[in-house]
């Protein structure tokens, strides 16, 4: 409270881009990551706002430099989540005035290329979906770790329908048992770890868990490779995807999924001269995402605070 006014504040540095290469001269190939880091500090620096006293401010340029210094110190390959924990622990413990740190990182999806059927030792190509994380750490050691992904584009050419929905005077959409379905998945899942000591030692790895969660999401969305699985709605498929992740991984307490319904509209074209110029037969579509349906939900265990 200052001069009868309540102040809630934090400051930080966004879009700090850092790449780290771990050289594997002895074999196995180089490892490279490219991260975009955002830092937020909750700190006791009210005099900077109320009295122009900057003596308790951690400069955002210092935060940026810390990212590069800590990346240099990480001589062994580590996950994005572990690096976020390293940063959060540093800012929260090194500066007495900092009560809580939030670290957000997006990882650019560089993937090792294969040449002549063999993984290249130092060649990479850019993939599609992006791995994300948010780590929060308080001065008392309380930790929150959230992993996620965005930009995971998925499409099925069949085995999808939508029927039995509310009908009124504005409804034109027909019931269907056969349609294409496409979406771009954004997801985040919260781990049960409440402090650093609760994170398992190796072989547990956040990067592998990210891959495993993504595979469960994909497997549930598509179904078996030979026959697939029917989706009566995006809502039902979203729920089944989340449920599968929670059933598979007991160290995840909740998951959020956003799955916009990107439409493929049947094309029918006709004229007086040619009434069957294009007659739709589950073959020609107009892809569009404007406007599109938005479907999202958070599914968590009964005792979760997510």
Q: Which residues are catalytic?
A: 13, 60, 263
For residues 284 and 232, give the distance between their C-alpha atoms in angstroms, rounded to a whole number.
Answer: 22
**DSSP for 157-217?**
SSSB-B-S----TT--PPPBS---EEEEEEEEEEE---SGGGS--TT--HHHHHHHHHHHH
Neighbours of 280 (CB within 10 A): 12
Q: Taking phi first (over 0 means left), then psi (-120 to 50 degrees means alpha), and beta for anything else, what does residue 3 get?
A: left
The contacts of residue 77 (CB under 8 Å, 6+ apart) are: 22, 31
For residues 8 and 216, give the distance between their C-alpha atoms in angstroms, rounded to a whole number.
Answer: 40
Paired with 148 in beta bridges are 132, 188
For residues 103 and 134, give the distance between their C-alpha atoms in angstroms, rounded to a whole number.
Answer: 6
Secondary structure class of 143 (helix, strand, coil): strand
Query: What's the CA dihedral at 50, 56, 59, 65 to 10 degrees?
Result: -160
């Amino acid at each position: 409270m200052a001069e009868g006014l309540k102040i809630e504040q934090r400051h930080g540095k966004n879009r700090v881009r850092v790449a780290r290469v771990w050289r594997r001269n002895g074999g196995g190939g180089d490892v490279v990551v490219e991260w975009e880091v955002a830092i937020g500090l909750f700190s006791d620096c009210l005099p900077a706002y109320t009295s122009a006293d900057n003596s308790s401010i951690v400069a955002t340029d210092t935060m940026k430099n810390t990212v590069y210094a800590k990346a240099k110190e990480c001589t062994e390959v580590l996950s994005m989540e572990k690096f976020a924990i390293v940063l959060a622990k540093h800012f929260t413990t090194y500066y007495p005035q900092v009560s809580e740190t939030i670290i957000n990182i997006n990882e650019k999806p560089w993937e090792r290329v294969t040449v002549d059927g063999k993984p290249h030792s130092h060649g990479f190509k850019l993939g599609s979906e992006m791995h994300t994380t948010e780590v929060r750490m308080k001065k008392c050691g309380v930790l929150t770790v959230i992993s996620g992904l965005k930009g995971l584009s998925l499409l099925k050419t069949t085995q999808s329908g939508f029927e039995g929905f509310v009908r009124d005077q504005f409804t034109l959409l027909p019931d269907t048992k056969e349609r294409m379905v496409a979406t771009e998945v954004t997801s985040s899942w919260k781990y049960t770890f409440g402090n650093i000591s609760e994170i398992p030692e190796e072989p547990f790895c956040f990067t592998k868990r990210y891959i495993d969660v993504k595979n469960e999401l994909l497997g549930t969305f598509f179904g078996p490779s030979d026959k697939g699985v029917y989706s009566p709605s995006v809502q039902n498929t979203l729920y089944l995807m989340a449920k599968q992740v929670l059933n598979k991984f007991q160290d995840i307490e909740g998951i959020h999924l956003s799955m916009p319904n990107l439409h493929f509209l049947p094309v029918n074209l006709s004229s007086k001269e040619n009434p069957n110029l294009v007659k739709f037969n589950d073959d020609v579509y107009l892809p569009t995402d404007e406007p599109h349906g938005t479907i999202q939900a958070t599914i968590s265990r009964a005792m979760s605070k997510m």
